[in-house]
Structure 1
Amino acid sequence: MTTPMPAPMPTPPYGAPPGAWLRSPAALGRATALLLGLVIATDLFACYADWLEMDVTGDLADGVSGADLIDRADHADAVYGIAGIAQGVAIVATAVVYLCWLWRIRVNAEVFDASGHRMKRGWTIGAWFCPVVNLWFPRRIVADSWDASAPWGSRSGHRPVNAWWTLWLLSLLVDQYAARSYRQAETAEEVRQAATTMLFSDCLDIAAAVLAIMVVVLLTRMQERKALSGELPTPALG
Structure 2
Amino acid sequence: MTEDPQAQLNAVPTAWLRSPIGLGWAAVAGLGVVIATDLFAVWADVVMRDVTGDLASGVAVGDRADRADRLYSVAGTVQTAALLTTAVLFVCWFHRVRVNAEVFRPDGHSKTRSWAIWGWIVPIVNLWFPRRITLDSWDASSPWGAPRPHGLVNTWWMFWVISLLSGRAASRAYTKADSAEEIQDAAGQMLFADVVDIVAAALAIAVVLRLTRMQNEKVRQGPAPVFA
Greater relative contact order: 1 or 2 (C-alpha under 8 angstroms, separation 6 or more)?
A: 1
| Alpha-carbon offset, residue 72 of structure 1 | 0.8
Q: Scaled by the length of structure 1, what TM-score is found?
A: 0.87
| Alpha-carbon offset, residue 178 of structure 1 | 1.1
Structure-1 separation of matches of 2:135 and 2:28: 18
| Alpha-carbon offset, residue 169 of structure 1 | 0.5
Q: Over residues 211-237 of structure 1, what are the superposed CA-to-partner deviations in whole Å (9 max), with x where a residue is unaligned?
A: 00000000000000000112269xxxx
| Alpha-carbon offset, residue 155 of structure 1 | 2.4
Aligned residue identity for 1:119: K
Aligned residue identity for 2:161: L
From the two aligned structures, give the one with the greater helix fraction: 2
Structure 1 residues 232 and 18, CA gap change in structure 2 (3 angstroms): farther
* 5+ residue gaps, structure 2: 1-11
Q: Over residues 63-113 of structure 1, what are the superposed CA-to-partner deviations in whole Å (9 max), with x where a residue is unaligned?
A: 012xxx231111111110000000000011001011110111011101100
Q: Scaled by the length of structure 2, what TM-score is found?
A: 0.91
Structure-2 separation of matches of 1:57 and 1:226: 54
Residues 94-133 of structure 1: pairs in structure 2 closer than 5 A: 94-133=86-125
The DSSP-based 3-state class of the residue aligned with 1:128 is: helix
* Structure 2 match to 1:32: 27
Q: How many residues were matched structurally?
A: 214
Between 98-107 and 179-188, report the one with greater CA deviation.
179-188
Structure-1 separation of matches of 2:175 and 2:122: 26
Q: Over residues 114-136 of structure 1, what are the superposed CA-to-partner deviations in whole Å (9 max), with x where a residue is unaligned?
A: 00000011111011111111110
Residues 175-186 of structure 1: pairs in structure 2 closer than 5 A: 175-186=167-178
Structure-1 separation of matches of 2:172 and 2:206: 31
Aligned-pair identity in percent equals 56
Aligned residue identity for 2:107: S
The DSSP-based 3-state class of the residue aligned with 2:120 is: coil
CA contact (8 A) 2:144 2:224 kept: no
Which structure has the bigger radius of gyration? 1
* Structure 1 match to 2:9: none
Aligned CA-pair RMSD = 1.3
Structure 1 residues 24 and 232, CA gap change in structure 2 (3 angstroms): farther
